[in-house]
Amino acid sequence: MARPTHDIVATLGEYTAQDGTKKKRYHPCGVAFTNAQGQVSLKLAALPCGPEWSGWLSLYPVKTEERPDPRPVQRSMPAAPAAGDEDDDDQIPF
C-alpha cells in the first residue's frame, strides 16, 4: 500500500499564544499520495465549513516520526479466573 506523502490542512483563523505571538490555527483534513508518475491523489477525511475558512487547503510534507502506525493495535484480554478463584472483594470501583 502506498504511504501518504503530504498532509492536507485548512487554516481556520489565528490565535494568540501564551507568549503573545499570533499563530495560525490548522485543521487536518486528509492526506495526499504521489505515485511514480508524479500524479497526486487526495483522500479527504474532513472539510471545514464556516466563515473562518477561506476555502483553501494546503499540502505539507508528512512528518514520518510523528505519524502513528495506521495498523490496528492488537491488545490481549486478561485471562478469566479459573473456577474457584473468584475473589469476594470485587475490584470494580462502582
Using one digit for the tens of pLDDT, what is the confidence trace for 44-70?
Answer: 999 998 888 899 999 999 986 655 555
What does the DSSP 8-state code read for residue 65?
T
**pLDDT value of residue 68:** 56
Over residues 18-52, the pLDDT tens digits come to 999 999 999 999 999 999 999 999 999 999 988 88
DSSP tag of 48: -
- In this prediction the pTM is 0.62
Residue 59 neighbours by CB under 8 Å, 6+ apart: 6, 7, 8, 32
**Residue pointed to by grid coordinates 478469566:** 80
Instruction: Tell me the domain boundaries of the chain.
Output: 6-61
The b/e string for 53-74 (b: 16+ C-beta within 10 A; e otherwise) is: eeeebebeeeeeeeeeeeeeee
- Computed over every residue of the chain, the mean pLDDT equals 81
Phi, psi of 11 (to 5 degrees): -95, 125
